[in-house]
Structure 1
Amino acid sequence: MLDRKLYRIIIDTLGKAHFEYYPDNFSKRILVQKVLYLLTHGKANPKLHLAYKWSFYLHGPYSSEIAHMVYYMNDFSASLLDETQDILDKQEIEAINHFKEFDKETTPFLDKLSKEDLYEMFATITYISEQVDYNKTSIEQKFGIFKPELREKINMEDFDAILETMTEFNYI
């Protein structure tokens, strides 16, 4: 069965191109997965409640169930847009709008990281913060262990600014 709500969330949050190129473009797949993780996890309120399981994989939090669903939905995307016009409730729309405000605030970090790297960082930090009580030092240390290649791409001042922005928007 198609998850029309998931389709609508991806379209409303990232745009149709991220959905259409999902199967063939690895960076689109990373971005979709990480954005959906942020929308469904962390302290953010409102947030989305989707019945998909997540695990930690090579590029951070990952849901194989979502990956399979998006591949499957792609086969039917031509008919889905019309079928999903008013499918989201008020809390889901608020969560998407909250995320869009967060996304706007993160553009200065794109000078240092690609959007995919940045959202892999956000999702991984959110994942780590759910495993430990919020402690900036612990998060930074664990992030360095889980993602040393990403940690090397950004200095401590920018890492602190990322944590501050994520805290401000209640993702950690």
Structure 2
Amino acid sequence: MNTELIFVAFLECQKSVDVEFKAELRSIKQSLGHDLETDSHESVARSIYLETDGGPQPVVDEELCRRIGVQLAEMGDRFQQEGRIKPEVVESLVHDILSETLTEDRFKDAVNSLLVNLPPGMDLEKSTLAITMTLASKVGCSVPNLLQSCFTTTLNVINRNYFAYVQQLSR
């Protein structure tokens, strides 16, 4: 499963009309070398091989990545509507990025601080990913030129701490 493609699909679902945010997102997509198909009339899922130093990796289903990203974005929207994404946590992350003091541990602590108040019965893995991506999105919406930096930090946090959750969602 490709975390980058899931996260890009998540960001594409954001309701930001900010031109700078959209430009930063386009830049991220170009740097990844992918253009996720978001046309709802497209019925054939495209797959790609990821080339790494170790040779070709398993096929990545871009349509599945897009669906997972959309599902996480819907969950993140619900968390925002319920007031679970605290503005002060987002502001603190913005401050940390601007002052170049944001670490992966600090970002993970921010995510964990928002997980404490989840209602019983919520899927912890999905919630964790949705909150992680929503925090990054909110930072990017607040200060669009930070989106690239926050995107990279968020991917590192997910891949190092929550990758098993991403794998679970692909099943």
* Structure-1-length-normalised TM-score: 0.28
* Structure-2-length-normalised TM-score: 0.28
